[in-house]
Structure 1
Amino acid sequence: MAEEVKEIPAAQMLAAVSQVGTAPPAVNIPARQPSPLCLPPQDPTTEEGTLPYPRSPRLSRKAKQPATLSREALSRHLEELQAERSGTEAHLQSLKKRSDDLSRSAEAMKQQIGERFEIMRQALQREEQAAVDWVEQDRREASGRLNRVLKDWTQHLNQVQKNIVCAKRALEQAGKEGPQEYTGDLSCRKKEDAAQEGIKMSEGRFQRLLKALRNISKDLQAQLQRRNFLLDSVAVQIDRQACNRHIALGRDQRLMYFTSEPRAGPELPLQFDRVCCALGSVGMATGRHYWEVDVGCCSAWAVGATYACIERKGVEKGAKLGRNRHSWCVELREGRLSAWHNDHHVACRVGGRKPLRRVGVLLDYQRGRLAFHDARTMKQLQEFSAVLTPVFDRMHHQFMEPVFPAFRFFRPDAGQLGPSHMEVCDLHL
């Protein structure tokens, strides 16, 4: 009869070792055929092998070492590396070619820009030469008139001197021979002074020329600056979901009318319920953007920009443009133009006698700059940036959220005729 085999679990063996501190007693376990219910013995050096005790870190490191590659595998790996090197070299060549193309394209652009400005410089030079030639012609004509006057006065002076000589001789002769009647003409009429207007240049025409050149210079500078802004022009449309009910929109969503009767419809979550405000439909979170608003047919308005977190309900400062930290604006109210942010304001002045009809807004998101201009003269009305007047106690040198164009209607004056409306301009170069 076969000897009975006594099996001791591994957990029990480890427990005995930890308690006694010595190895467990040896047990005679004869070799036997593997049972179908038992797993076959595994090689302890393989990663998949299961040991009755935790594997040491040294054995784990040995098990993770990569296996030795065959010659065929090394050949395939070398071919892959060579193919990768060829692809990388081709990509580098493509990048270098692209760099050369960009350089040539930039040089061509510079040449075209230089040609356009050269045309303008030549036109200005021709106008300058024409103005200088006119001044020179006017000088010659005035010099000719002056020379004729000088010649006439020189002849008069010579005649006076001759009469003086004759008068002296007659006086000497009368002293020697006694009083005698002198038959010569010693009369000398007093010559009237030359007309001063006849020897002046055209001062009036010159002053008119200077004024015209000054206006042309201002207009040219304004047009050049506006052209630079128009390169970053953006099409702004009004968000119907955010408009107050007293604002009606045109079909293109750029024209806004103030209506005394609110439009029908359910109240929307993003809608301004008490303050008559409207927002642009798209926020701007990068780059430079420029848009203009025609306010010529509105007597009381505000144009600005805001974060989307501006309050939409109620009439508190959090829902009014420029009365909180989330919005900036310029506004015309009771005939006074002012710039607002964080419930602080400064007065704005418009150059010239003409009223402000179009407001230009320039947003430079990366630089944290928001500037308002008179779009006709390009005079800056107000700039919000990191370096500004200390009136605004918190200026943003970096915007933290997308910025939306913003508009506000104040109730029109009683004497204003026609509807009060604003329109986002369709800008073209």
Structure 2
Amino acid sequence: MLRELGEMAEEEFRPLSEETSSFCLATEARSGTQVTQPFPRSPKLIRRTGAVSQKPSELPVLLEDLKKEKKRTESHLESIKKRQANLNTSSEAMKQQVQECYEELHMALQKDELAVLDVIEQDRRETSSKLNRILQDWNQHLGLLQKHISAMQSAQQSPAESMKQSFPEDFTLTSCHKKMDPAEEEIKMNEERIQKLKKVLRNISKDLKAQLQRKSLLLDSSNVAIDKLTCHKQIKVTSEGRGLSLSTEEGCVPNDPLRFDQLFCAMGSVGFKCGQHYWEVDVHCCPSWAVGVAYGSLQRRGRDKAAKLGRNRCSWSLEFQDGHLMAWHNDRHVALPVTAARAAPNRVGVFVKYHKGRVVFYDAETMRTLQEFSAVQTALFDKAHHQFIEPLYPAFRFFSPRDKHKDHHHMEICDLSL
């Protein structure tokens, strides 16, 4: 009996098991008593413990795997080293090729310069030869006058008989007067031609500068095509998906939820969610248009601001309507001057730098920047678009024509393939 009581007492003083301890900690926590929880085991300690606990029979397999991984890593490192070694060689080759291209341009310019200078020199020689002949003629006349003057002076001091002998029989005062030839004034270099040449060279210089600026954009040119499922029913798209026209009749197309049902709009088939992209749109056959970019979440139903390009936070656009050129975003706009010297563009360039939140519209013929949307623009357009949050799609819009003839409303995405 005493032994049983002792065993019972000993069990009461045994340490609590892990489950019992957890139960007691939870009970104390519910009762409001502050409890210090044990620190969790370190992940490194767990991995180390797991590595030590591997069975001896598995070690050869693990060792073989480690050797294979080491061999693969060494091979990859060797590949990277070779690429790094070839980097300078390939870079020098690229530089050489680019220098050759620019050398061709330099040689063409130098050759043309020499040819133009040769033309000017030839003109100078011909003009100088004509002037030399006239100069010689007048020098002869001057010599004759000097001779007559000397004879006249000598005759004043001589008898009358010797005076008659000093002058020829046909001598008269009239014969001593040489008439001015009006053609002499016309003998000069072709300055009018040179002035035209200077104008041509200035225009070539402007075009060359524009093309040099355009070349960097063409390196980021993207293949843009129209998504026919987004087009309004009155917009007809060419088979290759580059041209779109406004028709007087609605086409037999399904009523897709992506389609604009009220506005004459269309969107590109591919969205951009990274990188740099450039494309151009020929709008010279369209009296009123809008070109821009938009999120795919742009509303397609109705005619309110949520569906109009540039009238919401989902789109950025350049538009020409009623003789006015404007840039729009978030229902705010800036008017761009349209004058004889700066007419509305016939060809619009669109550049997107996605990771910088940047959209730029160009006059693609002169490469004049028409409008830039970026984080820098704070005066009128807010900075909400400094980072794009959705893929951007090319967007297009025809405005409702005032007349009923829509056949001349046409836009074309330009082929920029090099």
Specify if TM > 0.5: yes
Partner of 1:146: 131
Give unpaired runs (5+ residues) of structure 2. 23-36
**Corresponding position: 1:182 with 2:182:** no
- How far, CA to CA, are the matches of 1:70 and 1:282 in structure 2? 55
What is the root-mean-square deviation in Å for CA atoms of aligned residues?
4.1
Contact between 1:322 and 1:341, CA under 8 Å: does it hold in 2?
A: yes
Provide Cα deviations, 1:154-205, integer angstroms capped at 9, x if missing partner: 22222222222222222234xxx6x778324363622233534453112233
Q: What letter corresponds to residue 264 of structure 2 in structure 1?
A: C
Contact between 1:238 and 1:279, CA under 8 Å: does it hold in 2?
A: yes
Provide Cα deviations, 1:77-120, integer angstroms capped at 9, x if missing partner: 99987776665444332211011223222222221222222222
Percent identical residues: 45
Name the structure where helix makes up a greater proportion of residues: 2
Distance 1:291 1:11, change over 3 A: farther
- SS for the counterpart of 1:172 is coil
- 1:330 pairs with 310, 318, 338, which one? 318
- How far, CA to CA, are the matches of 2:72 and 2:415 in structure 1? 48
Partner of 1:400: 389
Aligned residues: 391
- How far, CA to CA, are the matches of 1:381 and 1:147 in structure 2? 56
TM-score (norm 1): 0.75
Partner of 2:265: 277
- 1:254 pairs with 213, 230, 242, which one? 242
- How far, CA to CA, are the matches of 1:71 and 1:265 in structure 2? 71
Contact between 1:308 and 1:402, CA under 8 Å: does it hold in 2?
A: yes
- Mapping of 1:28-107 within 5 angstroms? 87-107=72-92
Partner of 2:178: 191
Q: What letter corresponds to residue 163 of structure 2 in structure 1?
A: Y
Contact between 2:377 and 2:383, CA under 8 Å: does it hold in 1?
A: no
Partner of 1:46: none
Aligned-residue offset at 1:70 = 11
Which has more radius of gyration?
A: 1
Partner of 1:424: 413
Q: What letter corresponds to residue 286 of structure 1 in structure 2?
A: C
Distance 1:10 1:259, change over 3 A: farther
Provide Cα deviations, 1:369-408, integer angstroms capped at 9, x if missing partner: 2222233333333222344583445574433332111111
Partner of 1:137: 122
Partner of 1:307: 295
Partner of 1:27: none
Distance 1:239 1:291, change over 3 A: same
- 1:411 pairs with 391, 400, 408, which one? 400
Partner of 1:31: none
Contact between 1:350 and 1:356, CA under 8 Å: does it hold in 2?
A: no
**Corresponding position: 1:363 with 2:363:** no
Q: What letter corresponds to residue 369 of structure 1 in structure 2?
A: R
- How far, CA to CA, are the matches of 2:252 and 2:10 in structure 1? 82
Distance 1:87 1:411, change over 3 A: closer
